Amino acid sequence: MPIIRVMNIRERGTTSMLIVLAVLLLLLPLLAILQYRWQSQLSEREREHMTGNLRASAFRFGQDLDDELTRAYVIFAPSMAVGKEAGLSAFATRYDRWLTQAQYPQLVRDVFVAQVDEQEQFHLYQLNPESKQFSAAQSWPAELSKLAEQLAHYTKDEQRTFLRELMGRRFQLVNEQLAVLVHPILIPPTFRERGQVTWSLPIGFVIVTLNLDEIKQDILPTLARRHFLGTNGFDYSATIVTNQQEQKTVFQFGPESASKTAADVKVGLLGLRRETIRRIISSLPPAEREQMNLFRPPPPNEANPNSTPPPAPREIAPMAMGNDEQKLWELRLTHRAGSLEAAVTAVRRRNLLISFGILLVLAASVALMMQSAQRAHRLARQQMDFVAGVSHELRTPLAVIKSAAWSLTRGVIREEEQIKRYSTLIGKESDRLIEMIEQVLEFAGAQSGRQKLELQPVSISELIENVLAAAQPLLGEGGFQVEKTVVTDLPPVLADSAALSRALRNLLDNAMKYSGDSRWLGVQAKLSGSGRKPEIQISISDRGIGIPAEEQKYIFDPFWRGSEATTAQIHGNGLGLNLVKNIVLAHGGQISVQSQPGQGSTFTVSLPALAQTETHPAAMHSTLDAGTAD
């Protein structure tokens, strides 16, 4: 009863583990689906995050560039002169302020002041950067000839459309190397009833030429490194093109391979910013701000307090602040992977592969655990069967020995022939008992790994002869016919003679035990293979009950016995073939089986043969380890 109860506890524990593992296997597909959805959502958030960061970086890039242009725009803005006093010296002072405040002073190449006389003729003055004084220019520079025609038109514009046209074109490209800032020089407007303002025609223009090469060679590389250079270089390919019908590339940075695809983000560059104008003006001291904030009309006439108040600042704002949408260049950014979508998709695929790989490892682990649980369950049953079988096997010879001994000691058996027969029976059962104990002890020694083998050159022919000679009494008693085929001049093998003899004897005993009605046994030894490491194959065959194909993979497991053996009630404990396999593996060999039910079995042991130069090696040691049998 205690054994049965322990067995039931083990079975219930194994069953519970199998149920848990089965639930885990069912949960893994659900986890895979959730992981896929989560990765999709995470990728979408990552794409939005990367796009937002890229837009922010592009905006800061454009803002830093436009701030320099806007600073030049504010610094060189003229005042609303009273009468026609243009104040050339004031613009020289503005140039000094530019040199001290600007991060890139070389951005401004030349400063011109074009004054208009009463005959509507231009008088052009150019600032000398060294002397900081204006001198009259003989003629307009050739590169500004078209601009001169445009400005002359504005001085004759009786409809005052110049306010709209000029304010929308105060910053414009001249060519690939030059851009200009144009400021009209105005006198205070006239206020009429209902807050309406009447502007006079410009009395002159301030023209500031900007060196685009300075932007391309100095400003743009600096800003690119500041906003887009990472630890692994540029993550984005950037192209700056002109905002014209015929787009031309102005500047490039980052990987060129990605610049041919559609841009992920586009941002306008090279324009004036309202907020920057307000920030620069508001940061000035009051007196200077009053001088710089030249776009507000003077207050109403103090002698006539009822005069019309100045218009609201929002009516003047279009003149003062410019238009943020008017950009001369465009920045196009593309991820080095081809697009942000491609980059996010690549990361998503990588994360999915890693996640599914982890899930596969978990699934494989669960499957291995299930296999181990089933194997442990099977091993536990085999151990219980082994205990029951060994108990029965031990009880039978002990009962026979005890019965025979009792009969002899009590004088029940008195005839000499019967006494001899009983004595022989006691000896036979004692040998059987000793054999079972030795197998159990040998298995225990193999399990502990402490059993050592003394390897020496051994002749296979002599080894087979000794095994057959030791088994001759059993062979003769059973009426077996042994067909021996051993090739002559076989090379020796490096082996422990006693251990290898036990292995062959176990195979021979199995052949006799499972031969059924057939009394034929075959023993064969031959040389197999070629090259440097030939093998010697030893085969022991019978024509008995055979082994089903589905059971052949289990026959070398400890405590395992076939269904045919159990049905036929053939004595055994399921350790013999496991010990044989352990011994063969410890010798560096292999064992295999070929069998068909009802036609017999053939067990073949393959051992590496020694070459002629190795026939007298020094003694070697090997450990018989039962773990190798698995």
| Beta-carbon count within 10 A of 346 CB | 13
Confidence bin at 612 (pLDDT 50/70/90): low
* Tokens 């851009």, located at residue: 179
Cα-based torsion angle of the residue sequence 499, 500, 504, 507 in order, rounded to the nearest 10 degrees: 60
Burial class (CB in 10 A: 0-12, 13-18, 19+), 615: exposed
**pLDDT tens digits along 211-262:** 888 888 898 999 988 888 877 778 888 888 888 777 888 888 888 755 567 7
The rounded distance, in Å, linking the Cα atoms of 317 and 311 is 11
Mean pLDDT of the chain: 76
How much is the pLDDT for 15? Answer: 66
| Beta-carbon count within 10 A of 221 CB | 13
**Does the structure show a pLDDT above 50 at 472?**
yes
Q: Where are the domains of the chain?
A: 49-344, 450-629
* Alpha-helical runs (H) found in 449-496: 460-470, 472-478
Contacts of 41 (CB under 8 A, 6+ apart): none
Instruction: Please report, rounded to a whole number, the percentage of residues in the chain having pLDDT higher than 70.
Output: 73
**pLDDT tens digits along 111-121:** 999 888 878 78
How much is the pLDDT for 126? Answer: 92
The rounded distance, in Å, linking the Cα atoms of 210 and 296 is 27
Q: What is the mean pLDDT of residues 600-605?
A: 91
- Of all residues in the chain, what percent are helix, strand and coil, respectively (each to 5)? 50, 20, 30
**pLDDT tens digits along 77-96:** 876 544 344 578 888 888 88
**pLDDT tens digits along 251-287:** 888 887 555 677 888 888 888 888 888 887 777 767 6
Q: Which residues pair with 601 in a beta bridge?
A: 595
Taking CB atoms within 8 Å and a gap of at least 24, the contacts of 425-432 are 425/400, 426/400, 426/401, 429/396, 429/397, 429/398, 429/400, 429/401, 429/404, 430/397, 430/401, 432/397
Amino acid (1-letter code) at residue 147: L
How much is the pLDDT for 619? Answer: 46
The two beta strands, 229-230 and 233-234, are antiparallel
Helices (H) and strands (E) in the chain, counts: 16, 22
Q: What is the mean pLDDT of residues 577-595?
A: 87
Element (H, E) at 269: strand 265-269
**Contact predicate 91/76, CB 8 Å:** yes
Q: Which residue has the higher pLDDT, 63 or 308?
A: 63
The rounded distance, in Å, linking the Cα atoms of 536 and 548 is 27
Amino acid (1-letter code) at residue 544: G
And the tokens for 525?
């030894």
**pLDDT tens digits along 171-186:** 777 787 888 888 888 7
Closest Cα to residue 381, out of 172, 182, 590, 554? 554
**pLDDT tens digits along 555-568:** 887 767 766 666 65
Tell me the CATH number for domain 450-629.
3.30.565.10
CA angle 547, 10, 572 (to 5 degrees): 30
Indicate the pTM of the whole model. Answer: 0.53
